[in-house]
């Protein structure tokens, strides 16, 4: 979504360019409303702060997920695995290894399976 919309600072830069063009070409008898401009700039500032918070939360979440995945090493987990017939079946096994952040996902080596962290249904010691 960010690729479609750009970042808040990029949008704000584009807005400032447009605003300068409007100010240079405005009708002196009908100037732009200062209150509207101030309101829009305040909204951009809030958007930048939200983007900063969002990226901070994403980093924290990634760290928590990695820690959780590492805590599963040596534990028995249950997960859904696809059978040769193409159906899903609950399997279980011991987590032997963690593959962190492979294309943004964390994978676990469980016996002959490599599963996503999010596919773990339950675990036990």
| Beta-bridge partner residues of 95 | 110
Position 3 pLDDT exceeds 70: no
Model pLDDT for residues 111-123, shown as the tens digit of each residue: 999 999 999 999 9
Point out the domain boundary residue: 25, 44, 67.
67
- Quote the tokens at residue 51: 């983007």
109 in the same domain as 52: no
- Helix ranges (H only) for the chain are 2-5, 8-25, 34-71
Tell me the HSE value of 91 on the side-chain side, using a 13 A CA sphere. 18
Structural domain harbouring 17:
2-67
Point out the domain boundary residue: 67, 85, 102.
67
Quote the pLDDT of residue 6.
65
Sheet strands side by side (includes 120-124): 113-116, 105-110, 88-102, 76-82, 120-124
**Angstrom distance (rounded) from CA 112 to CA 25:** 68
20 in the same domain as 61: yes
Model pLDDT for residues 6-52, shown as the tens digit of each residue: 676 777 788 778 778 877 777 777 776 777 777 877 887 888 888 88
Quote the pLDDT of residue 2.
43
Model pLDDT for residues 53-96, shown as the tens digit of each residue: 998 998 999 899 999 999 999 999 999 888 888 898 999 999 99
The dihedral over CA atoms of 63, 74, 123, 71, expressed in degrees to the nearest 10, equals: -20
What distance separates the 2 farthest-apart alpha carbons in the chain? 77
Total number of domains constituting the chain: 2
């Amino acid at each position: 979504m960010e690729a479609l919309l750009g970042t808040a600072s990029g949008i704000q830069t584009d807005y400032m360019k447009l605003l300068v063009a409007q100010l240079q070409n405005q009708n002196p008898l009908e100037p732009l409303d200062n209150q509207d401009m101030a309101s829009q700039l305040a909204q951009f500032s809030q958007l930048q702060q939200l983007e900063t918070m969002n990226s901070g939360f994403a980093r924290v979440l990634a760290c928590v997920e990695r820690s959780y995945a590492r805590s599963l090493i040596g534990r028995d987990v249950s997960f859904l695995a696809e059978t040769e017939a193409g159906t899903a079946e609950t399997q279980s096994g011991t987590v032997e290894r963690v593959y962190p952040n492979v294309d943004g996902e964390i994978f676990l080596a469980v016996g002959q399976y490599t599963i996503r962290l999010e596919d773990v249904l339950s675990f036990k010691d």
